[in-house]
């Protein structure tokens, strides 16, 4: 996918097919124009262009079994790589991710990972989807209302319509507002507080979403996730 040959992203062919109608919409063209203008004005955008659709590239549609919904990418240098909550190898895990690892350890007795890179989850069918796919450096939520929410809402709807038995992990109020896009008669929704240090003690710790996800997948005859990193 490209914009006049100037913005190159990588996205798995299965998603290109599923989302083709969205890519043809005027609002999506407006997103691309906005991002080009940001670059022309000298702003740094995260994640880097080829990684904007990393969640779609690493988790093909036919292999998707769970979805974790985040808000917008990390806005610090080197942190965002297109997967919600995840950071590349060598980048210290931010506080929310540290809390995710604490809950993972408490739930499944797995060691706290040394790296905050969640690519291994994505490659097993856990889609790590931010509602906003880009952000201006050092300015959180700076790409709110440019069209990304409309796009990712459409993604959630498509998953709901065309798949069965997906486990949606909705952490915090923002993610939980997406429940209305999900057909609860054929999918599973697990809700908890956001893993942020400000809210993790209000119901994220102790939610056991990792083991519960695997129980739900196995009950549908779907291979569980190996959460080790």
Residues with a catalytic annotation lie at 72
SS3 29: helix
> How far, in Å, CA of 156 to CA of 168, rounded?
10
Residues 6 or more apart whose CB falls under 8 angstroms from that of 78 comprise 87, 88, 91
Q: In degrees rounded to 5, what are phi and psi of residue 191?
A: -120, 145
Q: Under 8 Å CB-to-CB from 48, ≥6 apart: which residues? A: 81
Q: Is 210 exposed, middle or buried (0-12, 13-18, 19+ CB in 10 A)?
A: buried
């Amino acid at each position: 996918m490209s914009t006049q040959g100037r913005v190159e992203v990588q996205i798995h062919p299965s998603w290109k097919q599923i989302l083709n109608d969205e890519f043809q919409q005027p609002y999506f063209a407006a997103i691309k124009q906005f991002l080009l203008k940001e670059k022309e004005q000298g702003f740094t955008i995260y994640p880097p262009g080829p990684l904007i659709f990393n969640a779609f590239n690493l988790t093909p549609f036919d292999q998707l079994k769970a979805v974790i919904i985040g808000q917008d990418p990390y806005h610090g240098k080197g942190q965002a790589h297109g997967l919600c909550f995840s950071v590349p190898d060598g980048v210290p895990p931010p506080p929310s991710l540290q809390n995710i690892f604490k809950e993972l350890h408490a739930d499944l007795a797995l060691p706290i990972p040394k790296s905050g890179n969640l690519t291994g989850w994505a490659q097993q069918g856990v889609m790590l989807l931010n509602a906003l796919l880009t952000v201006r450096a050092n300015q959180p939520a700076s790409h709110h209302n440019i069209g990304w929410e409309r796009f990712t809402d459409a993604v959630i709807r498509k998953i709901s319509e065309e798949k069965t038995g997906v486990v949606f992990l909705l952490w915090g109020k923002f993610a939980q507002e997406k429940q209305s896009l999900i057909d609860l008669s054929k999918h599973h929704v697990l809700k908890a507080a956001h893993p942020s240090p400000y809210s993790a003690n209000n119901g994220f710790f102790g939610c056991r979403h990792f083991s519960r996800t695997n129980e739900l997948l196995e009950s549908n005859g779907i291979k569980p996730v190996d959460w080790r990193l």
